[in-house]
Structures are given as C-alpha cells and as structure tokens.
C-alpha cells in the first residue's frame, strides 16, 4: 500500500501504473528530478503506486532502473506500493499511465472530488500519443524502456509546466485550491 502521508505543505501527486515497477516509478523519478532542478522539491510531494499487488515491496524493474541510470537518474530506492483509495484525500493529482489505470482509479474514487483529481499523464501533452496511453514496456527490451522513458520525460515536462505556477519556492503549499484550477479544471458541483 502507498505509505500514509499528509504533506504539511506542497502539492501532492501520485503516478499510478499496473505493478508500480516500470512506468509509474520512472515518472516519479523524472518529475522529482525536474522539481529539484527548478528549486521546487520542497513544494511538491511525489509518489507512485500500482493497481495490482503483483510486485508489492519489490524494487523497480531492473530495466527501468537501467533506463533511468542512462539518463543520470536513480530509481534504486523505489519499492512497489499498492494504491490505497483512502489516500485520495491526501493527493491533489493522481496521474494514470494508461486508460486501464484511469478506469480502475475512477472506480475506486468515492467522490466527485476524488474523480476530479484523476488525469492521464499524456493528457498534459496529447501530441505525444494519440491514444493517450504510455505503453507498458514490461515484456519488451531495453530499447523500449528507453523509448517509454523519453515519452514519460516529455509528458512530465508538460505536467511540470502546469504545476509550477502554483508552487512556491519556499515550500509552502498553494493557499487557495483555485490556484491549481489550471491543472484539474473547476471543482465538481
């Protein structure tokens, strides 16, 4: 399960894929690196989880870690977690890596507010993939992991461009939820 946390400040985002060993940990590492480069690491809490229990507690897939290492990033500290629907309340944005993850998350969301927090990663830059899904590289080779990581990097750059205006360099959270409306749209009725 995703560790319990209630960030005292900052924007909280969780990436979700199938087993939390390939796509979502790569996205977590990429977005964290981007926030660090911008000096905004203290203003955002970034996590990842899976919709299945297949790999709970395992490291990220070795091929995912190797792809990250080739970009100068590290996924060595990652351990797979299961998404816990009770954590919707602690999150500002829940990012699905494909339509199956989005469907599972929407079925677990108890309220319209929870459902409103769910977006697919490629929604932030639809030009990257017409179908809106980050392909699962699990049954593929290292070249496919590199290709998927490139897609994730570009999409995370677009996501960060949406998040950054609402973040503060001092690590304080956005004080008004409407400040982040450009990410999730207007609140549900």
pLDDT one-digit tens code per residue, 116-138: 999 999 999 988 877 789 999 99
Total structural domains within the chain: 1
Confidence of residue 184 (pLDDT cuts 50, 70, 90): low
pLDDT of 159 > 90? The answer is: yes
Alpha-carbon 154 to chain mean position:
13
Say yes or no to pLDDT of 165 above 70: yes
Q: Six-digit token pair at 81?
A: 């977690």
In a domain, 182, yes or no: no
185 within 8 A of 162, measured Cβ to Cβ: no
DSSP string, 114-139: HHHTEEEGGGG-GGG-TT--PPP-TT
CATH code of the domain covering residue 81: 3.40.50.2300
Segments forming the whole domain that contains residue 162 = 11-177
The catalytic residue positions are 17, 23, 136
């Amino acid at each position: 399960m995703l560790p319990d946390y209630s960030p005292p400040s900052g924007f909280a985002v969780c990436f979700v894929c199938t087993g939390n060993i390939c796509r979502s940990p790569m996205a977590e590492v990429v977005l964290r690196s981007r926030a660090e480069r911008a000096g905004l690491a203290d203003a955002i809490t970034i996590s990842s989880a899976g919709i299945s229990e297949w790999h709970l507690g395992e490291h990220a897939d070795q091929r995912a870690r190797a792809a990250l290492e080739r970009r100068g990033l590290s996924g060595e500290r990652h351990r797979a977690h299961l998404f816990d629907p009770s954590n919707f309340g602690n999150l500002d944005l829940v990012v699905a890596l494909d339509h199956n993850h989005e469907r599972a998350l929407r079925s677990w969301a108890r309220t319209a507010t929870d459902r409103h927090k769910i977006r697919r990663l490629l929604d932030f830059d639809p030009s990257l993939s017409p179908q809106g899904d980050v392909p699962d590289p699990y049954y593929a080779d290292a070249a496919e992991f590199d290709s998927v990581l490139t897609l994730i990097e570009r999409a995370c750059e677009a996501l960060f461009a949406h998040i950054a205006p609402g973040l503060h360099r001092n690590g304080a959270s956005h004080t008004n939820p409407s400040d982040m409306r450009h990410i999730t749209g207007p609140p549900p009725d």
